[in-house]
């Protein structure tokens, strides 16, 4: 039977999926994946920290929190021209989406025009735009949308009941409220979490339950594997079993069939074999480039070599000449997230 798009997942249903023998779980996830995507295609994005460090929050995993001694120095917001040069480099390397991250609890209204200029410039290069700036007000979300922002990233991080063990300066509802403002502004959502922070399997299922039961499934679901940075409270946490990470990817694919499931932070430490299992389990998106905000990421050459070994290719980005006309595929770029039927014109937007 075709996979059902649901927003009423029960915790015990997701745990039952986690408990399946791994070959059976991979088969189910791969079957769902094939219903909605070409399993040989992977969407590629690049992430740039446009304002690093100095964050007042106390997220236990984050080296950018000003209260932790991690060697990450606070910087000012980058100049737009410098951001655009990085975006050109990302596009030349094969990325289709350019994500801009700033270490803020929430941006001040005076920051929005500066970020909007970056967004408009990146959009003019023919790239999809994504930003992660912390909590947003409804007017801020609308202003970013008007500037040309396509996606907004705001993670739930973990299950509601485990959240208070990791973060104390922001409530779970604050995150849900920002996601609501983003959706109401007409932006697509990029929302996932981090695993390997000492949570139980039930709490990993709880994260996926919270994501899958949002009013709309996130267009992109980044699954981050904790990068343990010395100086943060979570440094020294027992590492998550690699097969448990693969199970998390597979259950995310089954619970959110049309979402892009992204291998995000922590990929630098993953073997090629582990990444291959994740792709087999339904992951179909990665971040490209040498750095994710302040932590390492596999370089472009390694990713290209892995794609070649696995027979994978970047997703093509459908670019529509107009909403009711023909569509073309731009060579050398890669796909926008698709979460529902494409318009009649074939545009993926």
Which positions are catalytic?
55, 59, 62, 99, 130, 190, 262
Question: Which two three-digit tokens encode residue 85?
Answer: 């040069």
Question: Which two three-digit tokens encode residue 64?
Answer: 């950018």
The string of DSSP letters for 282-305 reads T--EEEESSEETTEE---HHHHHH
CA quadruple 16, 20, 26, 30: dihedral positive or negative?
negative
CB-count exposure of residue 34 (10 Å: 0-12, 13-18, 19+): exposed
Three-state secondary structure call for residue 82 = helix
Question: Which two three-digit tokens encode residue 272?
Answer: 């090629």
For residues 225 and 240, give the distance between their C-alpha atoms in angstroms, rounded to a whole number: 8
Query: Residue 153 gets which letter from DSSP?
Result: E
For the beta carbon of residue 277, count every other beta carbon within 10 angstroms.
20
Three-state secondary structure call for residue 105 = coil
For residues 252 and 250, give the distance between their C-alpha atoms in angstroms, rounded to a whole number: 5
Contact (CB, 8 A) for 295 and 289: no
> HEC states along 182-209?
HHHCCCEEECCEEECCCCCHHHHHHHHH
Three-state secondary structure call for residue 12 = helix
Strands 188-190 and 193-195: unpaired
CA dihedral 324, 325, 330, 336 (to 10 degrees): 10
Contact (CB, 8 A) for 133 and 106: yes
Range list of H helices, 37-95: 80-92
């Amino acid at each position: 039977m075709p996979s059902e798009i649901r927003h009423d997942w029960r915790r015990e249903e997701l745990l039952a999926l986690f408990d399946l023998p791994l070959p059976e779980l991979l088969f189910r996830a791969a079957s769902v994946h094939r219903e909605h995507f070409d399993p040989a295609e992977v969407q590629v994005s690049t992430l740039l920290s446009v304002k690093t460090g100095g964050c007042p929050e106390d997220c236990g995993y984050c080296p950018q929190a000003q209260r932790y001694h991690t060697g990450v120095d606070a910087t000012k917001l980058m100049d737009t021209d410098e951001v655009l040069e990085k975006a050109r480099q990302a596009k030349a390397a094969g990325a289709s989406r350019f994500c801009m991250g700033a270490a803020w609890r929430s941006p001040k209204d005076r920051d929005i025009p500066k970020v909007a200029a970056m967004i408009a410039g990146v959009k003019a290069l023919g790239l999809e735009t994504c930003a992660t700036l912390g909590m947003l007000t409804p007017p801020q979300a609308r202003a970013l949308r008007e500037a040309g922002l396509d996606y907004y990233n705001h993670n739930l991080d973990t299950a509601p009941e485990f959240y208070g063990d990791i973060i104390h300066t922001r409530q779970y509802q604050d995150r849900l409220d920002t996601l609501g403002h983003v959706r109401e502004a007409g932006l697509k959502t990029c929302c996932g979490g981090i695993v390997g922070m000492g949570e139980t399997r039930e709490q990993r299922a709880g994260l996926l339950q919270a994501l899958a039961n949002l009013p709309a499934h996130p267009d992109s679901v980044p699954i981050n594997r904790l990068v343990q940075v010395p100086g943060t409270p979570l440094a020294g946490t027992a590492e998550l079993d690699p097969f448990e990470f693969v199970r998390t990817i597979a259950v995310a694919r089954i619970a959110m069939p049309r979402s892009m499931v992204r291998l995000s932070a922590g990929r630098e430490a993953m073997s090629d074999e582990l990444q291959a299992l994740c792709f087999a389990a339904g992951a179909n998106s990665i971040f490209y480039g040498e750095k994710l905000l302040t932590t390492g990421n596999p370089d472009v050459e390694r990713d290209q070599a892995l794609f070649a070994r696995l027979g994978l290719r970047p997703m093509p980005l459908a670019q529509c000449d107009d909403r009711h006309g023909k569509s073309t595929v731009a060579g050398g770029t890669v796909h926008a997230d698709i979460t529902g039927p494409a318009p009649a014109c074939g545009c993926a937007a």
